Amino acid sequence: MKTPITLLCLCILTTTGFAKTVTNSSSLNEQVGYSFGYLMGRSNAESVKDLDLDAFILGLKTAAQGGKSALTDEEMARVLTQHKKQSDAKQLIELKKKADANAKIGAEFLAANAKKQGVQTTKSGLQYQILKQGTGQSPKANSIVKVNYEGRLIDGTVFDSSIARNQTAEFQVSQVIQGWTEGLQLMKEGAEYRFFIPAQLGYGQIGSGDVIEPNSTLIFDVELIEILAKPSK
């Protein structure tokens, strides 16, 4: 958590010794101090939720007023390092629980989806559905392709869409996630497929960004527009 020192000092100096309710009738100085404190707390709620807030405020006040720390720099460094280790361990445990839950949900979804009419499953576990047959050539792993696509989670959340951006994408077939690399080579130019991609053929136990969590099963609607001799851009 990094908050500018000037902001922290202003927040503390404007609220020193303050222990009453603030309303829109309070003085400007009181409202400003409260606003800084509230917004700082809200934006850092996850970081400070397990801290002793009284001790936190005491430390801020002491530093802002030029007081002497009750702990040496070495002692503070030691306890902060210990806290970070505990926090990291807790995050790893929570991440594993989320990954395990997503893996279970994804496996159940794919098992049910495999039984649906028109859905085919490859040896790797990739599932696909042909929305529109193509008539052109099929790309190879080293081919450069132009596509339109939309990516969704199994709950319907759209996390990426060249269609929404109104901008096609171009890339080498081997330079994307495994599910795409395999799936694109099943298609012919002009085809539209829907891919159901298990986590191990997608972003695996790491996930990607804030939306694609660890062990997420992904759904992509892909239109293979053409195979390019070289990138057009």
pLDDT digits (tens, 9 = 90+) for 165-185: 999 999 999 999 999 999 999
pLDDT at residue 53, rounded to an integer: 80
CB 171 within 8 A of CB 224: no
Tokens describing residue 26: 């309070």
Nearest to 48 by CA among 38, 63, 34, 62: 38
pLDDT at residue 20, rounded to an integer: 67
pLDDT at residue 87, rounded to an integer: 78
pLDDT at residue 200, rounded to an integer: 96
pLDDT at residue 100, rounded to an integer: 94
Q: Which residues contact 128 (CB under 8 A, 6 or more apart)?
A: 119, 120, 122, 183, 186, 193, 194, 195, 196
pLDDT at residue 65, rounded to an integer: 85
* Cα–Cα distance, 106 to 164 (Å, whole number): 26
Q: Dmax over Cα atoms in the chain, in whole Å?
A: 77
pLDDT at residue 210, rounded to an integer: 85
Q: How far is CA 60 from the centre of its chain?
A: 32
* Cα–Cα distance, 98 to 178 (Å, whole number): 22
Residue with structure tokens 């052109």? 136
Tokens describing residue 79: 């306890």
Q: Which residues pair with 149 in a beta bridge?
A: 222
- Crossing angle for the helix pair 5-13 and 53-64, to the nearest 10 degrees: 100
pTM reported for the whole predicted model: 0.67
Q: Which residues of the chain have a pLDDT value below 50?
A: 1-17
Nearest to 58 by CA among 12, 7, 125, 107: 12
Task: Tell me how far apart the terminal alpha carbons of the chain are, to the nearest angstrom.
Answer: 41
pLDDT at residue 16, rounded to an integer: 46
All domains in the chain, ordered by first residue: 5-64 (no CATH), 104-228 (3.10.50.40)
Distances (CA, A) of 146 to 105, 160, 169, 184: 32, 16, 6, 11
* Cα–Cα distance, 225 to 58 (Å, whole number): 63
pLDDT at residue 19, rounded to an integer: 55
